Chain A
Amino acid sequence: MGLLTIIKKVKAKEREIRLLMVGLDNAGKTTIVKRMNGEDISSISPTLGFNIKSMSFKGFTLNVWDVGGQKTLRSYWRNYYERTDGMIWVIDSADIRRLEDCRDELHKLLVEEKLAGASLLILANKQDISGALSPSEIEKVLQMEKFSSSRHWRILGCSAVTGDGLLDGFDWVVSDIASRIYLFD
């Protein structure tokens, strides 16, 4: 019995998945988490620090780490990388001006060794706002082609306000992680 098998068995028993929500400030990370959890989203303050939410999803326990995205907080992101199974990178699709910033921060994240095995879901949030860029337009700017060989990733449009696309996104990331870690027999 190899070490990997042991780890897989332990994880399978817990059926726990650790997700890291990251992205620039004003992307809607906290709103997405609260929306998924069915909480009120009308008075969410910009996150100073981080929030942890546990929720059940398709028989798994998701531990979602929602980390503040303000510039001053980004240097602390690396404290949350350990043991992350999947990350959700949230983008404000209406904030075209900072899309390049967004790409640079994402690329910084993707070369992190501790996140090397994590699945990546990119949520192009705020699709309900007229003038928001479509996921395919954002994909072009993000230049993900250089990472596509080494990582499981997907980009999906969503709206935290209407809830569109959130379930699809979480569905994909959870099943991708599950197929990687857990043995379905």
Chain B
Amino acid sequence: MTESTQTKAEVVSKRLAANEETRKAEIEKRREESSVNADPRESVAGFLAEFKLRAGELSTRISALCEQRAETTEATLDSIASDVQSLERQVADATYFLPAYDARASNGTVAALRERMAGLRSKQAPRKKFAFSKDRKKAAAAPDASSEVPKPELAPPAPKIGSPRAPASTGPGIRHRKGEKIVVDACDLPGGEYVLEDLEDVEIWLCGPVRALFIHRVKDCKIYTGPVLGSALIETAEKCTMAIASQQIRVHSAHDICLYLRVRSNPIVEHCTGVLVAPYAVAYPGLPEQLAVADLASETNLWDKVNDFGWLRAVASPNWGVLPEAGRLEFQVPAADGSRPKAPSVAAQAREKEEEDAESEDEI
């Protein structure tokens, strides 16, 4: 009985051992199969190792060129460029099995290489890029009609804008002056719009009404006007003193200017700094009548109700303020040259000089 039991046990253990062996063999077989089937290119570690190697090699080649240890020629540049490109393609192919971080890191490395290449190329042939784009434009414009579409947009505006612009330069106004003193009498004012443009260190008196006033690009100027029946628009002014009576006043991009205003609506400033306001104080013969016609005879008390469009908060805008009363001036038209009666010319000149002195003192 024991013997038979023993033999039985032996048989069972043998069978078990055989089973075990076949199982092991099967595992081995499966492993072999899977390793045969697996794409070697799908191995993350393998890819990263190879990528690192190739990127490192390219990087040293580029550095060599940068430090001019090797001769920079078109051929070497091209070969590096094509290598960078193939590396980039490899990364692109690998992205589907690479973990997100590795994909991102590899892309970053390639981008850096590319950038260094571009830098090298522009150093090597700075004009190449320009010539290339020019060629391409030429080539594209000729055969391909659709690519011509942006071209007419770019080209024709010049003449089109040119023609309607012409009246601007010939329209009434004072332009491109420097270091002068100009008095314009009412009879010389057209009564329509008036332009003061590109002035530097100029003193201007407009002794009469205009419909609209445009002041543009003025510096170190003194501008005194009669009533503006419509609106006054000031854009780009620096270190100026202006006295204006108007229905509306808009000031854009002005810095360190002094405004003596009488206005029938709230004056506004936009993109300005250092704007000081004071009430209108101008005198010349005939002004009171002109102001009465323009409905500006009496103080409207809006000169200090300035709206700053760049400062839409409850706190007062830091861009403008009220000129202290002690610093305010009054402006009297200088008895002028030729057009006015010259009778007390010496006295007038003396007075003018006094005024100027007084002004400059006050400004100091």
Which residues on A are within 8 Å of B, measured CB to CB? 25-26, 42-46, 48, 68, 70-73, 92, 94-97, 99-100, 126, 128-133, 137-138, 140-141, 143, 161
Q: Check if B239 is an interface residue, CB within 8 A of chain A.
A: no
Verify if B244 is at the interface (C-beta below 8 Å from A).
Answer: no
Q: Is B97 an interface residue (CB 8 A)?
A: no
Q: B61 contacts the other chain (Cβ, under 8 Å)?
A: no
B252 interface residue per 8 A CB criterion? yes
A45–B191 CB distance below 8 A: no
C-beta contact mask, B10-47 vs A, less than 8 Å → 1, else 0?
00000000000000000000000000000000000000
How many of chain B's residues have a CB under 8 angstroms from any CB in A? 38
B248 part of interface (Cβ distance < 8 Å) = yes
Central interface residue in B216, B233, B310, by most chain A CB within 10 Å: B233
Contact B212 A46 (CB under 8 A): no
Decide if A97 touches B164 in the complex (CB within 8 Å).
Answer: no
Partner of A130, one of B191, B195, B230, B271: B191
Provide a sorted-by-A list of 15 A–B residue pairs whose CB atoms are within 8 angstroms. Answer: A26-B248, A44-B248, A45-B266, A46-B265, A70-B250, A71-B309, A72-B309, A73-B309, A96-B164, A97-B216, A129-B212, A131-B193, A133-B167, A138-B164, A143-B157
Residues B164 and A137 in contact, CB atoms below 8 Å apart: yes
Q: Are B270 and A72 in contact (CB under 8 A)?
A: yes
Kindly list chain A residues whose C-beta atoms are within 8 Å of the C-beta of B214: 94-95, 97
Instruction: Say yes or no for B326: interface residue by CB 8 A criterion.
Output: no
Q: Nearest chain-B residue to A44 (Cβ)?
A: B265
Chain B contacts of A71 at CB under 8 A? 252, 270-271, 309
Question: Residue on A with the closest CB to B266?
Answer: A45
Tell whether B161 is near chain A: CB-to-CB under 8 Å. Answer: yes
A32 CB to closest chain B CB (Å) equals 13
Say yes or no: A130-B192 contact (C-beta < 8 A), given A96-B165, A138-B164. Answer: yes
Contact B190 A26 (CB under 8 A): no
Nearest-neighbour CB distance to chain B for A103, whole angstroms, equals 8
B295 at the interface (CB under 8 A from A): yes
Nearest residue, chain A, Cβ from B190 = A130
Instruction: For A45, list chain B residues within 8 Å (CB).
Output: 248, 265-266, 268, 307
Q: Which 5 A-B pairs have the closest CB atoms?
A: A130-B192, A45-B265, A96-B168, A45-B266, A94-B193
* Residues of chain A with a CB closer than 8 A to B157's CB: 143
Nearest residue, chain A, Cβ from B310 = A72
Since A44-B247, A45-B268 are in contact, a sample of 10 more A-B pairs with Cβ atoms closer than 8 Å, ordered by chain A residue number, is A46-B248, A48-B309, A72-B310, A94-B211, A96-B165, A96-B167, A128-B211, A129-B230, A131-B167, A137-B164
B106 within 8 A of A: no
Beta-carbon contacts of B278-321 to A below 8 Å, as 1s and 0s? Answer: 00000000000000000100000000000101101000000000
B340 within 8 A of A: no
CB-based contact A126/B161 at 8 Å: no
Q: How far in angstroms is the closest Cβ of chain B from A57?
A: 26
> A37 to nearest B CB, angstroms?
17
On chain A, the residues within 8 Å of B264 by CB distance are: 42-43
- The answer to whether A96 touches B250 (Cβ under 8 A) is no
The interface bits of chain B over 125-143 (1 if a CB of A lies within 8 angstroms of the residue's CB, else 0) are 0000000000000000000
